[in-house]
Amino acid sequence: MVQQNFIKLYEASFRENFDLPAFSDYTDKTTITYKEFAQEIKKLHLLFDELGINKGDKISLIGRNNVRWATTYMAVITYGAVIVPILQDFPANDIQHIVNHSDSVLLFIADNIWDSVEEETLPNVKGIFSLNNGKVLNKYNSAKILEAKEEAENNYKSNLGEDFSKEDIVYADCSNEEIVLINYTSGTTGFSKGVMLTGNNLAGNTVFGINQKLHYKGTRCLSFLPLAHAYGCAFDYLVPLAVGTHITLLGKIPSPKIILEAFAEVKPHLVCSVPLVMEKVYRKTILPQMNRRAVRWAVNIPLLDNTIYRKVRQKMMESFGGCFEQIIIGGAPLNKEVEDFFYKIKLPFTIGYGMTECGPLISYTHYSEFIPGTAGRVLEGFMDVKIDSADPFNIPGEILVKGENVMKGYYKNEEATKAVLDEDGWLHTGDMGTISEDKTISIRGRSKTMILGASGQNIYPEEIESKLNNLPFVMESLVIEKNGKLVALIVPDLAAADQFGLAHDDLPIAMEENRKALNKTVAAYEVISEVRLYPTEFEKTPKKSIKRYLYTNLTK
């Protein structure tokens, strides 16, 4: 059990960092201090009192990253209730299902999302509040909710108001064994389950982040990953707030242009990203430079290549604000070519491994010790790991983990819980990999996506896709099986094709050349028999993994 109490971490932090900036909204350029943040939390606590919310009640939250979202999340868990953050990418039917399945009694929701949700489908929800302006959204029973809201506001003004002090920051006494969060997954299999995380699970992640000095008092953080997802929540929200970091909420889709402008302005001390963002930055800003004739010539000459790489590294450092200590990449596999290039230019980056069921972290290594092709060492003192393989050092097997960060189970789904949590407490991750003697993990792919070759070979489509995505005019790809053979679905990079002067009718010819080039680099049992052009980007989860289950029947 983690020694630090999860809720009391924030009680202590908000008192200690009372006058420091807590949040800025990148869009409207407003900033609030930890004092103002704590005041808004107190107002919500008074509202919960008026509404008769009890310890352990579930409260759902859905919308883009903004200060109201951040305030609501922290107000719920510090009250002793259970937060149910919902990814804003979920369709209306899924949102309604999650709110009802989680037994939520309150809902905080962005106006644009509320437009697609019917109040009649949420019979157990007492109050519905706007994340845009705090207004009551109930059509039914609104008078009672408005009265409670007004009473809470009056209580705050009469009892605290401008006299709010550090001593007024007093939060619920909750054991670390209690559930504080139910996080509904959006995986590649299409089945959403409510992951129950305790205070201990989240304290394990938070305390590890504090001990590693990922954030510390006075640092700056640019939050652009969805906070409703475990990765962004842990390291762009929970860890920063526990130490007094200034968090800027991007609140926009992180395109390369937008995100690089934000990095230049905020100058964060730590960058947490998913592979897709890093790969887009690489392809849109770095590759065009490296493909210039003079640069291609220079990198083939000893001594000159180091000069070129040093300049590229410096430019990349500056493009991310110039103040960051390291980039942590997680959530999905990083393209091998991109990883190799980053390592070659000595970019301070590392790759971690985790999953929602561990809130999320399983393994991490500081960039100075990072080994390409791995996903870091298992968190010493927090987690343990074993590989279900006769030779775990060389032959891939399923990765099993155990420790402080492992979830309590899936909410109201005992069957699914038993399927992944065995009697000894080992969580079966569904990922295939190997491990070194110092417990550094190397991931090969998902056990569910692994394809069994004609002669019994294990084929990991992600590895083939990584190579395919580096070939000309390929934006992204998906390798699936058809009648015992491998077929590649390819989304073409039309912008690159246009820039090169390639006509649309020429794309199939170019892709066939790519197929031939790829097959020269893979094992005989991994060759692609056919390529098919796909017209739009593949649908993805919030952590930008392709929802493979949507495409497995396309070639049948």
Query: Are 101 and 177 members of one domain?
Result: yes
Query: Are 378 and 487 members of one domain?
Result: no
C-alpha separations of 180 from 73, 202, 409 in Å: 10, 9, 13
510-532 burial, b if ≥16 CB within 10 A, otherwise e?
bbeebbeebbeebeeebbbeebe
Give SS3 for 325: coil
Least confident window among 197-211, 313-327, 535-549: 535-549
Question: In the chain, how many domains are there?
Answer: 3
| Average of per-residue pLDDT across 477-494 | 90
Least confident window among 129-143, 192-206, 492-506: 492-506
Query: Are 21 and 154 members of one domain?
Result: yes
Please choose, from the candidates 236, 218, 219, the residue with its C-alpha nearest in 3D space to the C-alpha of residue 227: 236
pLDDT reported for residue 305 = 63
Amino acid type, 460: Y
Query: pTM of the predicted model, to two decimals?
Result: 0.84
Cβ neighbours for 154, distance < 8 A, ≥ 6 positions apart = none
Query: Are 266 and 377 members of one domain?
Result: yes
Query: Are 433 and 492 members of one domain?
Result: no
Query: Are 441 and 479 members of one domain?
Result: no
The rounded distance, in Å, linking the Cα atoms of 242 and 223 is 15
**Considering the domain boundaries, does residue 510 fall inside one?**
yes
**Considering the domain boundaries, does residue 155 fall inside one?**
yes
- pLDDT tens by residue, 221-254: 999 999 999 999 999 999 999 999 999 999 888 8
Asked if residue 44 lies in contact with residue 50, where contact means CB atoms within 8 angstroms, the answer is no
Query: Are 261 and 192 members of one domain?
Result: no
Query: Are 465 and 395 members of one domain?
Result: no
**Considering the domain boundaries, does residue 101 fall inside one?**
yes
**Considering the domain boundaries, does residue 494 fall inside one?**
yes
**Considering the domain boundaries, does residue 517 fall inside one?**
yes
The position carrying tokens 């006075």 is 218
Pick the last residue of a domain from 427, 446, 465.
Answer: 446
**Considering the domain boundaries, does residue 207 fall inside one?**
no
Phi, psi torsion values for 141, nearest 5 degrees = 65, 20
The rounded distance, in Å, linking the Cα atoms of 237 and 142 is 32
Token pair for residue 470? 């580096």
Token pair for residue 192? 């959403």
The CATH code of the domain that includes 484 is 3.30.300.30
| Average of per-residue pLDDT across 319-348 | 90
317-334 burial, b if ≥16 CB within 10 A, otherwise e?
bebbbeebebbbbbbbbb
Query: Are 343 and 439 members of one domain?
Result: yes
Query: Are 301 and 431 members of one domain?
Result: yes
- pLDDT tens by residue, 259-305: 999 999 999 999 999 888 888 888 877 777 666 665 555 555 565 56
The position carrying tokens 């906070």 is 227
Query: Are 169 and 286 members of one domain?
Result: no
- Looking at every residue in the chain, the average pLDDT score rounds to 90
* H-helix segments, 322-376: 336-344
Query: Are 85 and 168 members of one domain?
Result: yes
The CATH code of the domain that includes 324 is 3.40.50.12780
**Considering the domain boundaries, does residue 245 fall inside one?**
no
Token pair for residue 541? 């989860």
The rounded distance, in Å, linking the Cα atoms of 362 and 393 is 18
Pick the last residue of a domain from 431, 446, 461.
Answer: 446
The rounded distance, in Å, linking the Cα atoms of 441 and 398 is 11
- pLDDT tens by residue, 19-67: 999 999 999 899 999 999 999 999 999 999 999 999 999 999 999 999 9
- Residue 263 belongs to domain spanning: 253-405+416-446
Phi, psi torsion values for 256, nearest 5 degrees = -55, -40
